[in-house]
Structure 1
């Protein structure tokens, strides 16, 4: 092979690599960079171990942040402060205090504030806090109305929010009967949102602050995600995945469940929510790991037709195809 041709290949590969690393435009970058909530100066008293000092009702900064996120995501909702903050706060504190071991330590170190609101446009959103240009933790905003359900009802509501109402529906069980409480619903959703914070602080994926994001060189997403919203499975194994959108009631479950759940069970996605986008792939893998593997709690999905089961599956976090992902989560928790 002539030297000129080798040089050409090297130039081409370098150009292609840079193009890959440039990634897709990140519509959230400006929102995160501009909000005062991302600045460590907005937080005081973080040395206190008391969760009550970190839970706030929606303020103007948090309102502006959610409105900007909803604008980007195409949601029309605009949140308002919670009417009964104290009752919700008490349940939330119970949920946070029930966490033990390495998860509890991570939460205390990196979950700097929780805001409570109504009419969020979903169950919760999260954000990142930076100090001297380094991501050190984050915050979560919770919808008190959406989360005013016990654990099984909440996660079943979330799963069904993708689909039009009809004779077929989904039921998910994530707690034993005595543990099926509102506090455990909050425990689960806070862990999912905390997963987004960990993905940033532990550099699992591209930074939320980058104007462009590429997942190509991050081990957690290898052979699963090309970009935030495009999976390697979209053109072959899981072709309906790009149409799935939570809180939209946009798909017919009756017409599409056989194209979704039996296929989902054979993919590297542990849950349907983890297939929504690359960021939720990590966040839902994290909460699935803590819930199913670490805490040994149930996670069982049933599809019901006229209240009779026609399909069942579990959480897929223990699949062989997620070995790398489990090891990375273990490293965060135990090293």
Structure 2
């Protein structure tokens, strides 16, 4: 089950009253030692090996508190054997090329591994003198049990009941269809949440209330974290979509979802689930499709026969503002 806890941060508003939706994570994020730069040493090293850790007590307490808020009963534990997973992760990190590498080296301070996370990835931010400067990711080792195309297809199908209609997505050519490239995609998505805070793209999980109203990336698309301007008339089915719920019939509903999605500013269905993932999935889509020119092709099949096709929508005209914002982050 791939559940991403999106922990993105922002500087506090100077106004006396905060506007927006209540944020149940604010106190956890403010109190955890993981958010303080004093707890990180050796960041001057460019060696990824020095930034990969097994779950420790501080990270454990952090995840347990998040799970408590989210209603999960899982209590994560360290891996008995870190090395195989560390090797896969190093392959994923070392395969990254171009300008994104500099961003990762500068802002991805630590990566933890664990078991029984309650989800697949937790992302958080590190601050120095109150300012966000980077972040960390905690990964469940179970995220590494599928190659890239199988992983993203599994994720996309997780909203729907099993039946004669299914979704297949290809994000890698067969020679590159590996577990490390699945992890690479996951990490880029998580890193998008870190960038959202350090680049002040969206509201903060340090704030007790979060409003998206004054952020350029979300204008005209998101009213709040979970309510879109498109819900009333354009993409009315969107609020019913829940990843990892297996709650909807794909056969009965795909025509209300994917043909409509292709005409919206959402590059992927996952980016349409909430405002935070709108940025994170737009970021990984930009890097994957535009910067690295890798494939991203979705098919809907009925009895193994293709009945619908679409690509990643990151190149749509309706996302020109979002692309420019991402470009400024990657090419400052």
TM range (shorter): over 0.9
Moved over 4 A (4+): 18-21
Match of 2:242 in 1: 245
Q: 1:134 aligns with which of 131, 136, 145?
A: 131
Give the conservation status (yes or no) of the 8 Å contact 1:117–1:144: yes
Shift of 1:329: 0.3
Deviation at 1:255, TM superposition (A): 2.1
Which has the higher relative contact order, 1 or 2, with Cα contacts under 8 A spaced 6 or more apart?
Answer: 2
Structure 1 residue aligned with 2:140: 143
**Deviation (angstroms), 1:313:** 0.7
Q: Compared with structure 1, are the counterparts of its residues 45 and 291 closer, same or farther at alpha carbon in structure 2 (3 Å cutoff)?
A: same
Question: What SS class does the counterpart of residue 313 from structure 1 fall into?
Answer: strand
Structure 1 residues 306 and 280 mapped into 2: Cα distance closer, same or farther (>3 Å)? same
Q: Over residues 132-189 of structure 1, what are the superposed CA-to-partner deviations in whole Å (9 max), with x where a residue is unaligned?
A: 1001100011121132211001111111112222222111100011010111111100
What does 1:164-183 align with in structure 2 at a 5 Å threshold?
164-183=161-180
**Which residue of the partner structure matches residue 101 of structure 1?**
98
Listed as ranges, the gaps of 5+ residues in structure 2 are: 1-14
Unpaired stretches in structure 1, ≥5 consecutive residues: 1-17
Q: Partner residue of 1:217?
A: 214
**Larger radius of gyration between Structure 1 and Structure 2:** 1
Cα distance in 1 for residues equivalent to 2:245 and 2:70: 12
Of residues 35, 40, 44, the one that matches 1:43 is 40
Distance in 2, Cα, partners of 1:234 & 1:83 = 46
8 Å contact from structure 1 (residues 123, 147) kept in 2: no
The superposition leaves residues 198-235 of structure 1 with CA deviations (integer Å, 9 ceiling, x where unpaired) of: 00000001122111111000000000000111110111
Q: Specify which of 286, 301, 310 is matched with residue 289 of structure 1.
A: 286
Report whether the alignment pairs 1:232 with 2:229: yes
Secondary structure (helix, strand or coil) at the match of 2:229 reads coil
The C-alpha deviation readout for 1:228-256, integer Å capped at 9, x for no partner, is: 11110111111121121212222222222
Contact 1:195 1:287 in 2 (8 A): yes
Aligned residue number for residue 25 of structure 1 = 22
Question: Residue 74 of structure 2 aligns with which residue?
Answer: 77
* Secondary structure of the structure 2 residue equivalent to 1:152: helix
State how far apart, in whole Å, the 2-side matches of 1:272 and 1:306 are: 22
TM-score (norm 1): 0.91
| Alignment RMSD (CA, Å) | 1.6
170-179 vs 233-242, which moves further: 233-242
Distance 2:186 2:325 in 1: 21
Q: Distance in 1 between matches of 2:27 and 2:248?
A: 31
Contact 1:122 1:247 in 2 (8 A): no
1:88 aligns with 2:74: no
Say which is worse superposed, 152-161 or 290-299, in terms of deviation.
Answer: 152-161
Match of residue 58 from structure 1: 55
CA distance in 1, matches of 2:220, 2:18: 16
Alpha-carbon separation, structure 1, partners of 2:251 and 2:188? 31
